[in-house]
Amino acid sequence: MRFRIGIDFDNTLVSYDQLFTQTAKAERLIPDDFRGGKAAVRELIRRLDGGEEKWQRLQGKVYGGQMGSASLFEGAARFLARCSRRTDTSIFIISHKTEFGHFDASGINLRAVACDWMNRHGFFDQGGLNLAHDAIYFESTREEKVERIARLDCTHFIDDLEEVLGHPRFPAGVKRILFLNGRPGKPAVSYRVCADWNEIEEAVFENV
C-alpha cells in the first residue's frame, strides 16, 4: 500500500493558541487575566461590537507579522520525519490560506510567511523533514482545498476542521482524521478523531 497523506497547515501543524492569546491581550481585545486558546479567544472577540471584523484583523496579524512566534505541534515533526524515511509515503500540505489577510493594511503575503516559517523549522531540509517545495498547496477557498485533495489522490487527510472533513464534496475513499487540537470531548462523526499527533501517527500506520 502507498500512503499519500494530505495535512492541513494552520492549527493542525502550527499551534497558535498562545500567540492568539498574547496578541489579543496586546490589542486590548480580551482581559489581561484571560485564560484560553484560539477557540476561546475567537468566541470572546466575536461577541464585541464589530467583533467579526476585529477577529479577522487579529487573524491577519497572527498569521502574518506575528507568525514567527508560532510553534510546531508536539509530535508533528516526528510524524513527518517517519514519513520522509518511508519509500512508500508521500506528504502534501494543503491549506486554505489567502495570499493576503482580510483588513490587513500591512500587505504581508501570508503564503510567503508560511513558507518562511516552514523553512526555519526544517521542513525542506534533506537532513530534516525533507518535504518537497512543490508538495505545498495554498488554496483560496475551502472548495478549492477539497478539490486539491481529490486531484492529489490522497489516501489520508488530517485537519482540525469538521467543516473540511465533512464537506459534501470531500472525496470518498480518503481516510479522514480530525485533530482535536486540545479541544475537550469527541464530536459525533463517522471518521477517526485524534487528540494529538501521537494518536494521529497510530491511526495512519496502525496496520503497518
- pLDDT of 38: 86
Whether the pTM exceeds 0.85: the reply is yes
Q: Are 39 and 55 in contact (CB under 8 A)?
A: no
Q: How confident is the model at residue 36 (pLDDT cuts 50, 70, 90)?
A: confident
- pLDDT of 90: 96
Q: Average pLDDT in the 8-20 region?
A: 94
Q: What is the pLDDT of residues 69-83, one digit of tens each?
A: 999 999 999 999 999
Query: Which carries the bigger pLDDT value, residue 181 or residue 43?
Result: 43
> Residue 74 burial by CB count (10 A; 0-12/13-18/19+): exposed, middle or buried?
exposed
Q: Average pLDDT in the 133-146 region?
A: 97
Among candidates 131, 133, 124, 146, which has minimal Cα distance to 91? 131
Q: Average pLDDT in the 164-176 region?
A: 96
Q: Which residue has the cell 467579526?
A: 52
Interatomic CA distance for residues 199 and 197, integer angstroms: 5
Interatomic CA distance for residues 149 and 6, integer angstroms: 7
Q: How confident is the model at residue 183 (pLDDT cuts 50, 70, 90)?
A: confident
Interatomic CA distance for residues 178 and 185, integer angstroms: 12
Write down the mean pLDDT value for the chain. 93
- Does the pLDDT at position 150 exceed 90? yes
35: left (phi over 0), alpha (psi -120 to 50) or beta: beta
Q: Which residue has the cell 475551502?
A: 142
First to last CA, the chain: 9
Q: What is the pLDDT of residues 89-139, one digit of tens each?
A: 999 999 999 998 777 777 899 999 999 999 999 999 988 899 999 999 999
